[in-house]
Amino acid sequence: MKYLSYVLAILAVTVLAAGTVWAFPTGSVENPKKGILVVAFGSSMSEGEASIEAVTDAVRKAYSDVEVRVAYTSRIIMRKIARENGKIVDEPAVALAKMAFEGFTDVAVLSTHIIPGEEYDDLKAVVDGFRTISSTAPKAGFRFIGLSSPLLSGAKDFERLASVLADSYSEQTKKGAVVLVGHGTHHFANAAYGSLQFALWGKSPNFYIGTIEGLPSYDDVASRLKASKVKNVWIAPAMLVAGDHAHNDIAGPESDSWKSLLEAQGYKVTPVLEGLGQNAAVRNLILDKLREAWDGFRP
């Protein structure tokens, strides 16, 4: 199975590096030790980290009796914050290996990814690796490990997020257009953005979805805006965090940012530099996904 050998190697290295197992309180069938691993792509900007922290705080509040940890899937971001800030954030395989070694019996892995793309596929492979370990070598794994689906995974997810966004931008859509920009990907999961667009149009014709690295592109959004005749545009990230992409590609001062390109077309553009994780209603949707993980959802 993909990632199984990798997970086993990480688990072995973690055990050797950590020292003696008796240093940690371990769970048992009679006294299970539960944990939650919040997994995000990551951010090296304080503004981006604020969204991840908001989600993590909401999880801790909802599960006050469960230990909550955080892992990132972007190694580039992990290396950058370690180099610049001296802060170490584990990737999922390492974080789960540590939790297994420390005696956690039941673990829910919360994906905060927006769509089930490549990053989520990798996370699922790691979790599947631990499931295999747990079934064949229980002492090295968990009694239970669950993984949530991303924010946009099923038909109901698009409608629910569209309703939240319609409420959040109700005043703006009365005065002009709201352009929400996702990361985008060449993975087939990019189709989720199109589904979200249709759900949003059911709330208001003044919502537009675009992506930085996929479809719909900037040109797609610009052509639709031109046909709409609007003059005012609010632009915001359709991402968990308002990090580097939001501050540079979307709302940066450079001539090729979405904000600058739209202003060059004559629009009055107002950036909204807040990630979806900073929206309390979106956090509630993410908490629903966490409950899904505890229920044993298997993507």
The answer to whether the CB of 38 falls within 8 A of the CB of 293 is no
d(CA 132, CA 15): 18
Displacement of CA 287 from its chain's centroid (Å): 12
Helix, coil or strand: residue 128: helix
> Are 232 and 195 spatial neighbours (Cβ–Cβ below 8 Å)?
no
Candidates 183, 186, 245, 247; catalytic one = 183
Q: Report the distance separating Cα 218 and Cα 59, nearest Å.
A: 35
Residue 183 catalytic? yes
**CA 194 → CA 17, 197, 227, distances in Å?**
46, 5, 19
In whole angstroms, what is the distance from residue 246 CA to residue 240 CA? 11
Q: Name the residues annotated as catalytic.
A: 183
